[in-house]
Structure 1
């Protein structure tokens, strides 16, 4: 083996020895940076789970992310209107239920009157002024429950579907922990109750 060959092998060994620690150092640095990045992202996501006043929080999807104060204000107005719709839908369901229940009671009274008239015409029904007829007790039977009807229960179910959908959207807005979104939802509920809350009461007591 010549001296030139020995020198070439020695230079190659020295180069490999110097390169290997550098490569390991680069790998460790990259891993450390990756860990640091993941840690910072985790800390950031953890810190976002508290009330904050950022105007760049997305709503419902990444495509709905305000990029200016005007867009943020428009999003808050949308949440106010959505909360008003929620209260309006709640009142609508309540009024619709009362309307259908009144119809069911009237229908039951009409049937009872028709049966009474039939019995009177047939001469099988006699009742003095002081007589009181008590219907027998029927256990295991719901009282004051109207019968199921397509014309009544399907509209009520659709209203409940809309009500639940709007309620879940408002819940998602509140779960962003954005102070503006949260206050907008509360403000919309207050405004909706102020406008429509009186329709859930009945001064006649019926």
Structure 2
């Protein structure tokens, strides 16, 4: 194991609260923090602009809502009986794969440890479940899925 670069990592008890290391590279946060100066999903994004940070929060929110919509979509249940065929199975698999990929993107965004990103991801999943998964906006006409208290999570965990 190469320990030659261990001196580049500052000790946690004496490290300054800034996110810059001595050599000018970014240090990743390992605890939740508040602030707009963060990196989410891509290097340098959203940067230090408040407007770009707000756009990042909106993006993560809608990504979470979209993940929940796909998780509760009839596209994932697919047709039953004689009408079930290979093309329907391929569409179902493609939608499942897309939903899983979006769930991983939300997870990676939350791994930025930015508290704002975490809260909007929770709000997005909650809003998506409220709109697409809960009984709140469903037609009470004998829906078989209404008997399930908590449907499968949109998380790919």
> Which TM bucket (shorter chain)?
0.5 to 0.7
- TM-score if structure 2 supplies the norm length? 0.67
CA displacement, residues 108-167 of structure 1 (integer Å, 9 cap, x when unaligned): 9xxxxxxxxxxxxxxxxxxxxxxxxxxxxxxxxxxxxx7xx3122100000001100100
Task: Say whether 1:40 aligns with 2:42.
Answer: no
Deviation at 1:66, TM superposition (A): 2.5
Moved over 2 A (4+): 39-46, 96-99, 198-203
Deviation at 1:39, TM superposition (A): 3.8
CA displacement, residues 56-98 of structure 1 (integer Å, 9 cap, x when unaligned): 1111111423212221111101111111101111111xx2354
Structure 2 match to 1:57:
38
Of Structure 1 and Structure 2, which has the larger fraction of its residues in helix?
Answer: 1
Label 1:74 to 1:203 Cα distance change in 2 as closer, same or farther (>3 A).
Answer: same
Using CA pairs below 8 Å that are at least 6 residues apart, which structure has the higher relative contact order?
A: 1
Structure 1 match to 2:75:
96
The structure whose Rg is larger is 1
Out of 103, 106, 109, which is 1:167 matched to? 103
- TM-score if structure 1 supplies the norm length? 0.53
CA displacement, residues 164-200 of structure 1 (integer Å, 9 cap, x when unaligned): 0100000001111110100010011111112212479
Instruction: Give the count of matched residue pairs.
Output: 126
